[in-house]
Amino acid sequence: SPDEARMDLNPSFLGIALRSLLAIDLWLSKKLGVCAAEGAAWGSVRPLMMLLEVSGHGIPWLLGTLYCLARSDSWAGREVLMNLLFTLLLDLLLVAVIKGLVRRRRPAHNQMDMFFTLSVDRYSFPSGHATRAALVSRFILNHLVLAIPLRVLAVLWALVVGLSRVLLGRHNVTDVAFGFLLGYLQYSIVDYCWLSPHNAPVLFALWSPP
């Protein structure tokens, strides 16, 4: 129809802006993927990037939280750890749903050699490591009493984990940027729905009451 023809010939400003952003994103991400292979420009720092990958992976965070929860002997500690566990699970679920809906392929220069992935992890939007790094970092800053250098370290760790996703070629820049935003917002949800022995007694029933 004439209307459709007009739409094709006059793409909206938003359409042009989005397409340009995506083009810049792909170009920049390819340029920054300097650790994507052993033989790449910064291939020698790839092992360090892989170490950062492990530090933001879901398995160590889940196992670590479960371990600390089992060892915790205070109600305050259990409450914080139970909420961290809930946060990590919510994050895995949300990221899996969005990855499954958006189905953006990982950059062509990525080598799919990550350990322990779910089937949706063949998709790249958003970066699960970036969401986790942002929300865990915000969680730590809000619930642990830490000296300033450790607080700075928590923020730096999150930023470096996000950057390493692009350097490794695992993600485009927008996957990581959206991941950070999503992780930041997820923390707000968790804070709003904070679980305690008063509003979720079943979750704390494993331990005898204080």
Ligand X SMILES: CC(C)=CCC/C(C)=C/CC/C(C)=C/COP(=O)(O)O
Instruction: Give least dist CB 10 to ligand X, A.
Output: 37
Among 92, 135, 140, 190, binds ligand X (CB under 6 A): 92
Q: Which is nearer to ligand X, 47 or 201 (CB)?
A: 47
Cα dihedral across residues 37, 39, 40, 42: positive or negative:
positive
Cα dihedral across residues 161, 164, 102, 58: positive or negative:
negative
Among 165, 167, 182, 187, binds ligand X (CB under 6 A): 165
Cβ proximity of 175 and 71 under 8 Å:
no
Q: Which is nearer to ligand X, 106 or 138 (CB)?
A: 106
Q: Is 171 a catalytic residue?
A: yes
End-to-end CA gap in the chain: 72
Q: Is 143 a catalytic residue?
A: no
Query: Alpha-carbon distance 72 to 135, whole Å?
Result: 22
129 binds ligand X (CB under 6 A): yes
Judged by CB under 6 A, the number of residues near ligand X is 15
170 binds ligand X (CB under 6 A): yes
Instruction: Give least dist CB 47 to ligand X, A.
Output: 17
Site for ligand X in 39-68 (CB under 6 A): 57-59, 62
Beta bridge partners of 123: 105
Binding site for ligand X (CB under 6 A): 57-59, 62, 92, 114, 116-118, 121, 127-129, 165, 170
